[in-house]
Amino acid sequence: MYDKAIINGKVYINQSWEFVNLYIQGEKIAKISDDFFDALEVIDAKGLEVIPGIIDPHVHFELDLGFIKSVDDFYSGSVAALYGGVTSYVDFLEPTDSVKELERSYHERLELAKKSVIDYHFHACIKNPKGDLEAYVIKMKELGMNTLKLFTTYSDSDRRTYDKEIIQLLKLSKQYHFLIMAHIENDDLIRLDDSFTYKDLTISRPALSELTEALKLAEYTRQTQGYMYMVHLSSGKTLEALIHNYPDILNKHFFVESCPQYFTFTEDALKRKDGFLYTFAPPLRTEQERKLLLKYHDAVYTIGTDHCAFMKKDKVKPTLHETPLGIGGIEHALGIMRYHLNDEAIEKMTKRVAYTQGLHSKGEIKEGLDADLDLFQLDDGYRVHGNHGTCDYSVYENLPSAGRVISTILRGKFVLKEGKLIKHTGQLIKGSEFL
């Protein structure tokens, strides 16, 4: 007898829909079958879709910017995530430049994450490295991480990693089978004038800064045959250029992530009276860029949210320099992306994320994998409403969405049932090599 049976649902398996029954034993999917077997609990999913639990590869809970922290901690952020069908996420360690600091940052972050109601994992994060890069990579892998974030900008806060070290890290990524997560903007093309307000954000961080830097790093990746993952691509022109110039490595060695905000909004949002609420980096682009992103969406390998929420009052600042850059969105990402990309969004938010992040026990509906499942209600007329995180606004409020998550199962247990949160503690996922 199985622990749970999910019957009569429309199940997403291998990029197609099947009317099959799922059987759960303990934490795992034990059987997928047309037949009916006994189970202690039977869940009738008639009229609902059954999809893999969403994995968000890009969140910032309790992010300390020095002058302010993002408002969602690991508890409130994970609750918001859960209501959006997210069963696992990957947060970032504090940027560090030495092995000793890396280890300290990991243990500090791990302690904070114990509040999470869903499963979690971490990216190591490096700033302007000063020590032995190979030793840093070895320690990162010893701690169970196989992704390393770097920045090609933010030299003003000493977070930038320079080309010489990037090339070295790419060579190491090939040797040690890890993935470089790169925030890609050309630092020399970014202007940080003290007089700039939020309306000047696209002048401060032009699309050209992303395009030129992405092409340069793609060339480094091709030459070294290393592994790089571009976080939060904002520009359709950048994507188009990568497709045309680097088809041999695109999403094989050089992976591309984008975010719901870039599919949904344009820089015109910054002209609104409340335009300060739409400030993040890289910023919103033109309508032409957004249309190009939609046109070439096949080349976007994964979707992450870059969830980094701040309160309205904290976003209302006289200058751009004082404005914390970041928005929330993890709760509404699935519905928004399915509205834009239909079923194609599912693969970009589940299996492909699991592959790049080395989370091989998750990401698809398959016998032997973790029973992380969403029951999703399609609704043509549904619009985003409400927010279960700490933030007091959502840029997605009242926008059209494909539907909503009704219930969520994490490792075989209900954590959200018919809209009601069920007490649960998430756990650290130890990653393995993404290859």
Other CB atoms within a 10 A radius of the CB of residue 186 amount to 18
pLDDT at 431: 79
Distances (CA, A) of 23 to 28, 49, 86, 259, 334: 9, 16, 21, 33, 25
CATH T-level fold of 53-357: TIM Barrel (3.20.20)
| Domain range list for the chain | 2-51+363-421, 53-357
Say if residue 333 is exposed, middle or buried (CB neighbours under 10 Å; 0-12, 13-18, 19+).
buried
Other CB atoms within a 10 A radius of the CB of residue 35 amount to 8
Identify the band that residue 433 occupies on the pLDDT scale cut at 50, 70 and 90. Answer: confident
Mean pLDDT on 241-266: 98
Mean pLDDT on 335-346: 98
pLDDT at 435: 65
Kindly report the CATH number that applies to the domain delimited by 2-51+363-421. Answer: 2.30.40.10
pLDDT at 430: 84
Cα gap 288→295, rounded to integer Å: 10
Mean pLDDT on 422-432: 92
Per-residue pLDDT tens over the stretch 300-336? 999 999 999 999 999 999 999 999 999 999 999 999 9
C-alpha triplet 430, 331, 251: angle, nearest 5°: 55
Other CB atoms within a 10 A radius of the CB of residue 29 amount to 24
Residue 217 parent element (H or E): helix 207-224
Domains 2-51+363-421 and 53-357 share a fold: no
pLDDT at 432: 78
Rg (CA), the chain: 21
- Letter for the amino acid at 243? I
pLDDT at 130: 83
String of b and e for 134-152 (b: at least 16 CB within 10 Å)?
Answer: eebbebbbebebbbbbbbb
Contact by Cβ (8 Å): 55, 89: yes
Contacts of 90 (CB under 8 A, 6+ apart): 55, 56, 57, 58, 59, 120, 121, 122, 123, 147, 357
- Letter for the amino acid at 393? Y
Per-residue pLDDT tens over the stretch 145-195? 999 999 999 999 999 999 999 999 999 999 999 999 999 999 999 999 999
Closest to 290 measured CA to CA, from 319, 259, 321, 318: 259
Distances (CA, A) of 121 to 37, 85, 143, 167, 275: 35, 17, 11, 26, 33
- Letter for the amino acid at 430? K
Query: Between β-strands 2-7 and 39-44, what pairing exists: parallel, antiparallel or unpaired?
Result: parallel
CA 214, 216, 220, 223 torsion-angle sign: positive
